[in-house]
Chains A and B, each alone.
Chain A
Amino acid sequence: MPSAAEHAVILAPRLWPRRSALVVVAVLAILAVMILSGIRYGLLLAVGLGFGLVLEGLRFGFAGPWRAMILRREPSGLYAQLIAIGLVAIVALPLIASRSGELVGAQAPVGFAMVGGAFVFGVAMQIVLGCGSGTLVNAGSGNPVAVLALPFFAIGSFAGAYHLFWWTDLGALPPIGVAGWSGVAATLLGLGAVAAILYRVAVRGQRSLQRRHLVAAVIVAALALANLVVAGQPWGVVYGLGLWAAKGAAAFGADLSGSPFWAARESAERIGASLLTDVTSLTNIGIVLGAFVVASWRNGGLSARIPVLPLRAWIATAVAGLLLGYSSRLAFGCNVGAFFSGISTGSLHGWVWFGAAFAGSAIGIKLRPILGLEARS
């Protein structure tokens, strides 16, 4: 029986052609989008690929660290999220303030539907153990739960946007936020306060930040800033998914004129435009492809058997996928658009989203085994 090191040496010649092909295909995909749509769009695909590579490669995410904190009081992954948000805020807030005609933040109103949507999103993301970005990463790395949840996520996002104005009419404040260097100070203070609470609540011996989480946080922050500089808007996920379903609905002859959201001029234009010119679609596609590249790159990364789950687990996955999409539209974003980009660009709704979704996560964690999603091998 060869040792692990000997095994790696034996496998290396077999892996290189596959790995070289993965790199070539990824580069060709970026070049193809640059040629077909424009350089900016190719860059956005590259940013998305970067997100996919780092999130899957360093096993960094949002739902998992929240689960680790709630179940085991291990804060490392959550610390990393806060660090990434803080790093983005330090650059993004002054930049947006000085170039407000070119760059926008993730400003959205706090309202009844927004809070409820964030809470439901928190529940659903722990049921499928995948948030907005996590579902894309998990789908690309071959998690069948995510592959099933993703199309329902898209349909839910489309439906949530379809009804969005009805929900916001229930009552919402105007967008409230901070900006510039005073905004940086307020945001870092808030992030520091959350980190201090996590430190106090954490189990002794588990209070430190893991190196891979720190590395992931720095790279994710750099990519999020690249997204802002290239696209003029922060990193988001949910809009693109809803647009895919809206395009499908329109292609099958659905009448979208009954929806103030989808009938609006900008929405109608985007439905009729190429996906290869839509910011969030490109980064979403890149995330799936990036995760696929990493999973294919790893020796045995895709050879694990898929879990044996009962029928109720697959039904729960589909329902949770719908809820992820629908609730994230009501909440003006998922963990990426609301929590990460909202807080890092100074929006109050990002903080409210965090609290509501974290409370929902505590319930979702309890529901997951009841729904049969704790897999047998």
Chain B
Amino acid sequence: MTLDEPPGLTRRTPARLAVFLLMLLVVVDYAANSPNPYRAPSILALGSGAASAGGFCGALPD
């Protein structure tokens, strides 16, 4: 809280909550499924010669 803040709950609380929950999700997921940086794809998809393999909301799985 700063000197300029009005009393009561401010937007700082939900903002910090959102970031905290997001970080918690990332950390818990990382503990369960650690990525292997040595198997990372090339830096850019453009020019890689490989098809995009990411999930997308417009695509259906085969």
A residues contacting B by CB (< 8 A) are: 35-41, 43, 95, 99, 101-104, 106-108, 139-144, 146-147, 150-151, 164-165, 168, 228-234, 236-240, 243-244, 247, 251, 260-261, 264-267, 270, 272-280, 285, 288-289, 292, 295-296, 300-306, 328-329, 332-334, 337-338, 341-342, 347, 349
Contacts and interface: CB of A to CB of B under 8 A. Distances in A.
Nearest to B61: A264
Contacts of A36: 30, 34-35, 37
Contacts of A306: 8-11, 13-14
B61 A38 contact: no
A233 B18 contact: no
Secondary structure type dominating chain A contacts: helix
Contacts of B41: 38, 40
Which of B44, B46, B59 is the most central at the interface, judged by chain A CB atoms within 10 Å of its CB?
A: B59
Smallest CB-CB A-B distances: 7 pairs? A38-B40, A232-B45, A142-B11, A232-B52, A142-B15, A264-B61, A279-B54
B35 to A, nearest CB: 4
A236 B58 CA distance: 9
A304 B11 contact: yes
Contacts of A305: 6, 8-11
B19 to A, nearest CB: 5
Size bracket of the B interface: 35 or more
A230 B45 CA distance: 5
A342 B57 CA distance: 10
Contacts of B33: 272-275
Contacts of B22: 285, 288-289
Contacts of A233: 45, 52, 54, 56
B37 A38 contact: yes
Interface string B1-39: 110111011111111111101100110011011110101
Nearest to B54: A279
B56 A337 contact: yes
A40 B61 CA distance: 23
Contacts of A265: 61-62
A292 B58 contact: no
Contacts of A341: 58
A251 B32 contact: yes
B55 A270 contact: yes
A114 B45 CA distance: 29
Contact of A266 (B2, B25, B62): B62
Given A40-B40, A305-B11, 6 more contacts: A102-B50, A142-B14, A232-B54, A233-B54, A239-B56, A279-B56
B43 A39 contact: yes
A288 to B, nearest CB: 6
